[in-house]
Amino acid sequence: MKEIEITKENFESEVLKSDKPVIVDFWAPWCGPCRMLGPVISEIAEEHDEIKVCKVNVDNENDLATQFGVMSIPFVASFKDGQLYKSTVGFQPKEGILELLS
């Protein structure tokens, strides 16, 4: 499965109302660590159909970044049953990202 690009218009339907656990990567194209994390996020999306993987470009979706207190990127958050569950800041290996759901 591919990552889903999230905007304020589809955030509720794709993330908050998801029937699967969701990983949301808050990123920006100019951010070096975000570019390093990108392939890891893509790999999780390809390998784990039981997880919905989403990306929020903070340059385009500043309101969403503000709503979740994103001060540094990459900021990766997990959501379960419509609620923010866990989050982390900075580059993480694949195992670290998957631990956000446990």
**Active-site residue numbers?**
31, 34
DSSP H helical ranges for the chain = 11, 32-47, 62-67, 94-98
CB under 8 Å to 63, separation ≥6 — which residues? 8
Q: Listing from the earlier edge strand, what are the strands of the sheet with 22-27? A: 4-5, 52-57, 22-27, 75-80, 83-89
CA distance 31 to 20: 28
